Amino acid sequence: MPKESKALSYVQVRKLTFKHDSSGIPKPDRHPVGGVAGLHLYCKPSGSRSWVLRVKIGDKRKDIGLGSYPSVSLKTARELAREHRLTIKSGNDPIAEQRAKKEALLAEQSQQITFEEFARKFIAKESKTYKTPQQVRHLSQRLRDFAFPYIGHLYIKDIKRKHLISMLEPIWETKNHTAKRVQNYVYRILQQAISEELRTDANPATWKDNLALSFPKASKIAPVRHHRAIDWRMLPEFMKTLRDYDDPVDSHPEAKCFEFMILTAARAGEAQERQYPA
């Protein structure tokens, strides 16, 4: 255990400063201030001064920073130094404890991201995989209109099942198709957040055996209604009529687009993109 120096007064500590070597070059200096063994005031040529507790932890001698002077007063520095010595005496490492607290704080701060903030990153990523700008617009609008008002302000880690129930209830029976899309978007966003360790709880947006239990089946409230279709045997006559409609050629480009959809089974959006590229 280092020898305890004579306890300096507040006035004496205030006068402590850096030193000069034999060539007159300023050098940092460490001054023992007493009151607690190993407590020093470290003075730099820049003018900054800070408290350091030189102490042995286990079989290694280490420096523990106690803050800058005069922000941390002489009295407070001595109190902190005594606390650290008691911690070490009880078999603990104050440096390791400080590091663990800092890591826990950083981990907590990393999880303090709202659903809206994370969702916007998700939209940016998804926009690179979608085929048309319309898909990106639909994703953004649905989240903006039906998700953000309910969970946009919540931290990703704090979103519960009850929040998602409140989000879906207003549109489940009136806009069922949109509600299912919103639920799927939210599920994927939360799953992405879980993979990035921004959330430790299970995904509350899971549908099967979870949210599904709180809503009537979609098939009961929004049965699928297929578009009208003609009998396949009528297609030859229909195609002739369609081509006659486009006479003279290209006078009705929508006819060519429709013919392309029939021959390739393409969706309307895909056919329009081919017919009218941006």
DSSP per-residue codes, the chain: -PPPPPPPPHHHHHT---EE-TTS-EE-EEEE--SSTTEEEEE-TTS-EEEEEEEEETTEEEEEEEEEETTS-HHHHHHHHHHHHHHHHTT--HHHHHHHHHHHHHHHHHT--BHHHHHHHHHHHHTTT-SSHHHHHHHHHHIIIIIHHHHTTSBGGG--HHHHHHHHHHHHTTSHHHHHHHHHHHHHHHHHHHHTTS--S--TT-TTTTGGGGS--HHHHS---PPP---GGGHHHHHHHHHHHT-STTS-HHHHHHHHHHHH---HHHHHHHHS--
| Alpha-carbon gap, residue 268 to 26, rounded angstroms | 78
Residue 131 burial (CB < 10 Å; 0-12/13-18/19+)? exposed
∠ CA 60-61-65, nearest 5°, is: 125
Average pLDDT over the chain, rounded to whole?
A: 88
Q: What's the CA gap between 97 and 190, in Å, rounded?
A: 32
Domains of the chain: 10-110 (3.30.160.390), 115-221 (1.10.150.130), 232-275 (no CATH)
Please tell me the distance from the alpha carbon of residue 159 to that of residue 206, in angstroms, as a whole number. Answer: 13
Flag whether pLDDT at 245 surpasses 60.
Answer: yes
Radius of gyration of the chain (CA): 35
Nearest to 146 by CA among 112, 120, 172, 121: 172
Q: At 2, is the pLDDT very low, low, confident or very high (cuts 50, 70, 90)?
A: low
Higher-confidence residue: 273 or 236?
A: 236
pLDDT tens per residue, range 172-189: 999 999 999 999 999 999
The stretch 224-240 carries a mean pLDDT of: 84
Measured between alpha carbons, how far is 7 from 35 in angstroms, rounded to an integer?
5
Question: For residue 133, what pLDDT band results from cuts at 50, 70 and 90?
Answer: confident
Query: In this structure, are residues 118 and 189 in contact, taking their beta carbons and an 8 Å threshold?
Result: yes
pLDDT of 275 strictly over 80: no
Judge whether 106 and 146 are in contact, CB under 8 Å.
no
List, for residues 85-109, the tens digit of each pLDDT value: 998 888 888 888 888 877 776 766 6
Burial class, 49, CB count within 10 angstroms (exposed 0-12 / middle 13-18 / buried 19+): buried
